[in-house]
Amino acid sequence: MDQVKIAPSILAADPLFLGQALENVKDADMLHLDIMDGHFVPNISMGPAVVEACKRGSNLICETHLMIEKPERYISDFISAGSDIITLHVESTPHIYKGIQELKENGVGVGISLNPGTPLGVLDSIWNEIDLLLLMAVNPGFGGQAFIPAMLEKIREARSLIDSREKNIELAVDGGINRENVREIIEAGARIIVAGSAIFSENNGENWEAFRKKTLE
């Protein structure tokens, strides 16, 4: 089994102490940055300036998860901010391929995300372009929601589709992951675990250590 990676989502961190939050998770594998526009999802979060600050305040790979309508309008801003991987939702644009091309032209990792209700079949014509598949296990927009149990089967299906291909595609799962369910999600096939509230809600440092221990056991 490939090594499991942990990607803390700073959405759940206290913005007043973002630098401290980054310091607490400096041993993580990557950072997950949730960008929300109040249109594609009901919530508004952060923009390129925060991505840029995270790049300055951390040595970790930054994966920018764009939950915004027509993300191709802002891809260049998030590239300039220093994103190493940018993840686009197939549901957010009629021109997903345009976005993929822009990422490739700029040497930025291509992430593709699917909402819980979007079938894996939409990936049929773009599998070869994907570096990271981010399966949402909650309806995107807010941290702290419950993991949707039906997503376990989707993770298993995605795992077997990925394993049947030559290209190595990272399988990331996002939403509702905590110490209690993380092992089951890894066993289903996830290799990047995105977690916000399980890591950052109070007792920052302690939660991170406990989550990491459980995930990597």
174 annotated active-site:
yes
DSSP 87: E
Query: Could you please report the per-residue DSSP string of 120-176?
Result: GGGGTTTGGG-SEEEEESS-TT-SSPPP-TTHHHHHHHHHHHHHTSSS--EEEEESS
> Is residue 145 within the footprint of ligand DX5 (CB under 6 A)?
yes
Kindly state the number of chain residues that form the binding site for ligand DX5, as judged by CB under 6 A.
21
Residue nearest to Zn ion as judged by C-beta position? 65
Looking at beta carbons only, is 40 or 128 nearer to Zn ion?
A: 40
Stretch that binds ligand DX5, among 79-87, 103-111, 162-170, 171-179 (CB under 6 A): 171-179
Instruction: List, in sequence order, every residue forming a beta bridge with 133; answer none if it has no partner.
Output: 112, 171
- Sheet arrangement for strand 61-67: 5-8, 192-195, 170-174, 132-136, 109-114, 85-89, 61-67, 30-36
Reference 194, options 64, 20, 8; nearest CA is 8
Task: Report the site for Zn ion in 168-187 (rule: CB under 5 A).
Answer: 174
Could you identify the residue written with the tokens 């440092």? Answer: 205
Stretch that binds ligand DX5, among 71-79, 121-129, 168-176, 202-210 (CB under 6 A): 168-176
- Selected from 158, 174, 186, 211, the binder of ligand DX5 by CB under 6 A is 174
- Selected from 195, 208, 211, 212, the binder of ligand DX5 by CB under 6 A is 195
φ, ψ at 123 (rounded to 5°): -90, -5
Binding at 175: pick from Zn ion, ligand DX5, none (beta carbon under 5-8 Å per type): ligand DX5
> Is residue 72 within the footprint of ligand DX5 (CB under 6 A)?
no
- The encoded tokens of residue 47 equal 């923009």
DSSP 74: T
> Is residue 89 within the footprint of ligand DX5 (CB under 6 A)?
no
> Is residue 140 within the footprint of ligand DX5 (CB under 6 A)?
yes
Residue ranges in contact with ligand DX5 by CB under 6 A = 9, 11-12, 32, 34, 65, 138, 140-141, 143-145, 174-177, 194-198
Residue ranges in contact with Zn ion by CB under 5 A = 34, 65, 174
Q: Just list the catalytic residues.
A: 34, 174
